[in-house]
Structure 1
Amino acid sequence: MPKDHLHPNLVKTKHLSLLSLFSSGGTLICCALPALLVSLGAGAVMASLVSSVPQIVWFSEHKLVVFTFAGMMLSISGFLQWKARSLPCPSDKELAELCNKTRVNSLRVYFFSVCVFLIGGFMAFVAPWLIS
């Protein structure tokens, strides 16, 4: 079934949930991945990764910007999830099933994104404070 028959806000919410997932994924690249690799004793792997993909350093240097952007995207996505929770689905049985699946999948992606954001935030801001 084409997505055209879904309520426009549901389609927008799904796309924004995916965008929030990718933006919160930036928090993992910035902080959680380096902390994990170093804590596992894989500092050489991290050094090799940084030499192969030097753009990773930008994420670490600008972690406040990365987290602010990810937080804003998650907030907007959460607001749209909240608004879309009671939108009507089509009366056609197949389209209604698709609508409900989209709603559930979008909510799963959103909660996964929030978890990723929280893990990255812990590694970026709380863990260094606890270690020092």
Structure 2
Amino acid sequence: MNEARARLREAAITFVSLLGSTGTLVCCALPILLVTLGLGSAVVGLTGAFPWLITLSQLKAWVFAASGGMLALSGWLIYRSGRQCPADPALAAMCARADRWNRRILILAAGIWLLGFFAAYLLLPLTRLFELAG
């Protein structure tokens, strides 16, 4: 029973990590992408409909730190040594399938987080660097 609770906890943390990294995408990468594509009015509409996006973007350092911490915790839970699936073949198959899905979700969440981090912190300095070089 403890093994099942541990697997459920790992899955819950992985999904919370995915939601947290999606929050970084919504707060930072999506508005930058829309403005880059010339859809600034869509960003104005989004912030008018969801005013909490402004607060989220003002606190982006905390958002990225919290979601990065959740991703790190999720990665540790999934890849730590000493994890074992039950000996029962049916439960072992379900455990292996859950592990595969947890790894896939973690990789997706980390990719979303990296995209948001790039858009929030690296895109503008790189643009300025290319302007100075050109």
For residues 68 and 52 of structure 1, what CA distance do their matches in structure 2 show? 26
Partner of 1:91: 87
Q: Which amino acid aligns with 1:14?
A: A
Q: Does 1:51 align with 2:23?
A: no
Match of 1:104 in 2: 100
2:34 aligns with: 37
**Given the alignment, which residue of 109, 115, 122 partners 1:113?**
109
How far off its partner does 1:31 sit? 0.8
Moved over 6 A (4+): none
Partner of 2:126: 130
Q: Normalised by the size of structure 1, how large is the TM-score?
A: 0.89
Distance 2:74 2:115 in 1: 18
Q: CA–CA distance in 2 between the matches of 1:42 and 1:91?
A: 55
TM-score by length of 2: 0.88
Shift of 1:86: 4.8
Q: Distance in 1 between matches of 2:6 and 2:105?
A: 16
What is the CA distance between 1:5 and its match in structure 2?
A: 8.0
**C-alpha displacement at 1:6, in angstroms?**
4.8
Displacement after TM superposition at 1:28 (Å)? 0.3
Q: Is the 8 A contact 1:24 1:113 kept in 2?
A: yes
Query: 1:10 Cα shift?
Result: 2.2
Aligned twin of 1:73? 70
- 2:132 maps to which residue? none
Q: Distance in 1 between matches of 2:88 and 2:106?
A: 27
Alpha-carbon distance in 2 for matches of 1:88, 1:123: 38
**8 Å contact kept, 1:29–1:59:** no
Matching residue of 2:22: 25
Q: Please provide the CA RMSD for this pair.
A: 1.6
